[in-house]
Amino acid sequence: MAKYAQRFSETLNLGRRELALLCTLMLRGQQTLGELRDRSDRMHHFEDLSEVERCLDHLHELGLAARIERRPGQKESRYAHLLSGAVTAEEVEESAAPSTDRLTVLEGEVAELRAQVRALQEKLGFCSIAIECQ
């Protein structure tokens, strides 16, 4: 019977710190230093953000990770893995788009729920201070 082992870290000469960061980036996508520190804690505990940044710099030197400059409206730069190729401007834009789409969907649902509540209140002859009855 053939046996298989994962040799990714050995092949690329990566330590636990670098492997933890790469796994988190592959699993969660683009992340800030703080997000990477918090979310990779089960695999490796980083003492501070400068340790995370040093590891990311090492991954960058190896061509495995890249820093994505801060975009308008963001507080910090983000980091991404390069295992599936370079990060394009379109991918950076797409990563911000779902939150905008989600907000639009949620606003529509809230408007629909308010309309349903108004209709029920009118049907029952009940008015609330929080929701105006017409």
Q: Kindly state whether residues 125 and 107 are assigned to the same domain.
A: yes
**Phi, psi (deg, nearest 5) at residue 47:** -70, -40
Answer yes or no: are the C-beta atoms of 36 and 24 closer than 8 Å.
yes
Which residues in the chain show pLDDT less than 70?
4-5, 88-100, 127-134
Q: Kindly state whether residues 33 and 57 are assigned to the same domain.
A: yes
**Phi, psi (deg, nearest 5) at residue 66:** -140, 150
Taken in order 11, 7, 33, 91, the sign of the CA dihedral is positive
Q: Kindly state whether residues 132 and 120 are assigned to the same domain.
A: yes
- Side chain identity at residue 71, one-letter code: R
What is the reported pLDDT for 4? 67
Q: Other CB atoms closer than 10 Å to residue 40's CB: what's the count?
A: 25
The pTM (predicted TM-score) of the whole model is 0.62
- For residue 130, what are the domain limits? 88-134
Which residues have CB under 8 Å from 92's CB, separation 6+? 30, 68, 71
What is the reported pLDDT for 103? 82
Q: How many domains does the chain have?
A: 2
